[in-house]
Amino acid sequence: MFRQERSTLVNRTDDFYNTNLSLGRPSSFRGKENVPPKRIVQPSRYRSSLYGCSERGQIMPHERKIKPAVLIDKTIATFGQLGNSKKIGGRVQAYVINVYCRHLFNENHPRNSLKHYFFHTASEYFLGKWKNDEARIWWRKKLIRSFIGAGKAHNLLMSDKLYFPTLHEEYYFLFVVDIKGRTFYFLDSFYDENSSYHMNIKKKIISSFICTWYEARLQPMDFSAFPTVYPKVPQQDNDIDCGIFTMKLMGWCPRNPTPIVFSPKNVPDARIRYAVDLMFSHYNTLDDEKKRVKEFRL
């Protein structure tokens, strides 16, 4: 008796639910109690969000290209960007550089490190890489906000150094403003100071930085007295490892008596180390993706 009543209540509930979903009238289910209700139990994988937290099995190749792997302070790098940047012979992608900047920020806050790491988009503005005047105004506002925001973390004038990873003509180098040492530094693992590459851009970068500093209404400094220096740094032996060398040079300090020891033979290990450090960073909030990577089996 109880089983029959329970079955009746369940069927009525199914009928009522499916009616509200406009999946058929209740009468269509009479006499078909053993037929599964026409409700959507689980959406098709084509209708599911790639960003959902439900378990969907192993990471598929197409997902690695678009699925976020690292999320640090709203800054994202996908599996594809991280994988392409860290594979042997891969070029480091800009989003990975940006995530690394946020990682360094959290690892040692500017009020302790006295260092600020800016996204590569800052140097994009310095180099005038906008398509029209509307884009120029948008980039300008964005960069001014980043200067002001960085200053809230720690006063730029009271900081030691400002780091600007720069991507130009598919090649990375590091522009450093040494506030304490009152010097502009260009750290390049491939081109030298007298190359046409730098002769065409260094003055533009410096003048655009100075202009942005004053547009952000920061305290005046005599930047005209800052010398421009190209210190000796480790050199790469190809044209694709510049991103790895640039990430390594973001730990460089002009007043550190111990030079950075790094060579092309260290690049393969560095690629793996940077990928692991970012993926499993304490500040990467995508815990489900960390778990998937740990449990992944070929």
CATH classification at residue 125: 3.40.395.10
Question: Considering the domain boundaries, does residue 166 fall inside one?
Answer: yes
Q: Is 147 in the same domain as 100? A: yes
For the chain, first and last CA: distance in Å?
53
Q: Is 214 in the same domain as 107? A: yes
Strands 171-178 and 161-168: antiparallel
Determine the average pLDDT of the residues in 12-41: 45
**Nearest partner of 274 among 93, 102, 82, 89, judged by Cα:** 82
d(CA 5, CA 8): 5
Q: Is 153 in the same domain as 122? A: yes
Q: How many domains does the chain have?
A: 2
Tell me the average pLDDT of the chain: 82
Q: Assess whether pLDDT exceeds 80 at residue 256.
A: no
**Structure-token pair, residue 79:** 């599996």
Question: Cα-flanking dihedrals φ and ψ of residue 2, to 5°?
Answer: -60, -45
Q: Which position has the token pair 């310095």?
A: 126
Q: Is 20 in the same domain as 69? A: no
Check: CB of residue 187 under 8 Å from CB of residue 231.
yes
Question: Considering the domain boundaries, does residue 253 fall inside one?
Answer: yes
Question: Considering the domain boundaries, does residue 84 fall inside one?
Answer: yes
Question: Considering the domain boundaries, does residue 189 fall inside one?
Answer: yes
DSSP 41: S
Which residues make beta-bridge pairs with 179? Answer: none
Domain residues for the domain of 22 are: 1-41
Q: Is 37 in the same domain as 74? A: no
DSSP 56: -
Interior angle at CA 32, CA 29 and CA 35, nearest 5: 100
Q: Which position has the token pair 């069927």?
A: 11
Determine the average pLDDT of the residues in 106-123: 94
Question: Considering the domain boundaries, does residue 179 fall inside one?
Answer: yes
Q: Assess whether pLDDT exceeds 50 at residue 71.
A: yes
DSSP 55: -
**Structure-token pair, residue 171:** 């090649």
Q: Assess whether pLDDT exceeds 70 at residue 208.
A: yes
Q: Is 102 in the same domain as 234? A: yes
- Give rounded-to-5 percent helix, strand, coil for the chain: 45, 10, 40
Determine the average pLDDT of the residues in 184-191: 96
Q: Is 4 in the same domain as 131? A: no
**Nearest partner of 217 among 174, 297, 155, 139, judged by Cα:** 155
Question: Considering the domain boundaries, does residue 52 fall inside one?
Answer: no
Q: Is 233 in the same domain as 132? A: yes
Question: Considering the domain boundaries, does residue 24 fall inside one?
Answer: yes
The region of weakest confidence among 43-57, 71-85, 90-104, 207-221 is: 43-57
Q: Is 115 in the same domain as 12? A: no
Determine the average pLDDT of the residues in 172-180: 96
Q: Is 35 in the same domain as 125? A: no
Q: Is 7 in the same domain as 101? A: no
